[in-house]
Amino acid sequence: MSEEKENETIAETVEKVAEEAVEVVEEAIENSVPFLLKLKNENPTLFFGGIAGVIVTIVLFMLSGDEGEVGQHKQADMSLGSIHTLQAPNSLEAIDISLKILKIPGQMSAFDNDDDVTCNAPVGTSVTVRGFQDAFGTPQMFVQVEINQEIADCRQGVKGWTLKNNLN
């Protein structure tokens, strides 16, 4: 009988060790599941609520802010006879920037053909508004200006066209 008891004791010990090994393996598997997957399985309401919260926060962040200030050029109030200075809001700050004063409003060929250019006026040149031209659904997109002083290749009193954005 002692041999049988010994075998039973060994069998019981092996069974206990096997059970402990199974528990350790199950715990290791449970701990290896990533936190978010574990949360999804254990508490799906909290999981999906958290995702919805993150999405709402991102949307609100994207919609917030003052879009009117970023990248917007303040337009000067213009009327016939008002005096303004030429500027180049779409160019980098450089020393010798000049604007082409065109014979015809919006004449694209002026950049290839100097015959369509009245003169090249440097930034800061004083001009008087003499007329307006609507284009592409934008009222007063082009402004007819008269050069107030002789500067560069522009004579005093010469008239031509520029974009409204180019006036300050």
**Structural domain boundaries of the chain?**
2-63, 83-166
Query: CATH class for domain 83-166?
Result: mainly beta
Q: What gap in Å lies between CA 120 and CA 8, rounded to an integer? A: 108
Q: What gap in Å lies between CA 134 and CA 151, rounded to an integer? A: 28
Nearest to 78 by CA among 122, 137, 141: 141
Task: Output the CA torsion 58→62→66→69 (10° steps).
Answer: 140
- pLDDT, tens only, 84-134: 999 888 777 656 788 889 998 877 776 778 888 999 999 889 999 999 999
pLDDT at 66 over 60: no
| pTM of the predicted model over 0.75 | no
- pLDDT, tens only, 24-47: 878 877 776 677 777 888 888 888
- Of the pLDDT bands very low, low, confident and very high (cuts 50, 70, 90), residue 168 is confident
